[in-house]
Amino acid sequence: MTGGTALVTGAARGIGYAIAQRLAKDGWAVMLGDRSDDVENAAAALSQESGNARVAGARCDVTDEDEVEALVASVVNRFGALDLLVVNAGVGGGADHLTELSTEAFDTVIGVNLRGAFLSVRAAAKVMRLQGSGSIVTVSSVYARVPVEGSAAYSASKAGLIAMTKTAALELAPFGITVNAIAPGYIDTPMRWDALRNRARLAGTTAEDLYADDVASVPLGRYGTGADVAGAVAFFAGSDSRYVTAQVLELTGGRPL
């Protein structure tokens, strides 16, 4: 499927921007949503880079119900439809053990990663039901299945996201809407390096040493890239996956979970 209309949350940098890049290159109209003030500049740069004039950006805090509803409405008003939602906005939190994890930190991670996903999916699904078509892709994590120390809030949020994704797939299937999740493993992003530094603090080592250990555990011998994740999104958004829904695609480079 090319030439449709997509909304990507958390798209000002990292995985979200790479997904928006791929979609813009494939001819989609793309709205980049992000709470960062840089999102409009990111969209302008992407439009110029891709030669695609149908790229825009809007600031949105996915934990705010009104802002999410307004963002979805702006996509429809600007481009006439909403064919694809990519729920990518997320935070990693710190690396505190459960007994040291503050209630505020827990609520922040759950608020962005799970509440934000719920608000985004709900708003987009209302539009897609009226259209009788659409695709939703959520970005979870392998930590949903295999948590590590210091990931209580993050792992819980990503596991909850998978459960919500599968539920939404069942409920939206009668309307011609597919809902799937991607669960990346080690992806080279700024947020991943933040996590490595947090883990290093707990383990008394360096982020670079942890990175080397990670790479050694991946059969393909490298971290994944944003482009690798974007390729999976392109599959779920395209016509080759019309009969695929309620699935979780793990992007691990062959690393066993």
Q: Which residues carry out catalysis?
A: 154
Instruction: With beta carbons less than 8 A apart as the criterion, state whether 252 and 142 touch.
Output: yes
Alpha carbons 220 and 91: distance in angstroms, whole number: 27
Q: At what angle do helices 152-172 and 103-110 cross, to 10 degrees?
A: 30
DSSP element (H, E) containing 168: helix 152-172
Instruction: Quickly tell me which residue has 């209309």 as its tokens.
Output: 5
Nearest-angstrom CA–CA distance, 63 and 114:
9
165 residue type, one letter: T
Q: Decide if 77 contacts 84 (C-beta within 8 A).
A: no
Both tokens assigned to 191: 């947020």
- For 231, half-sphere exposure in the C-beta direction (CA atoms, 13 angstrom radius) is 8
Tokens representing 18 are 């790479």
Where does the chain show beta strands of DSSP type E?
5-9, 29-34, 55-59, 84-87, 134-139, 177-184, 248-251
What backbone torsions phi and psi does residue 89 show, to the nearest 5 degrees? -55, 130
Query: Among positive and negative, which fits the CA dihedral 180, 142, 234, 54?
Result: positive
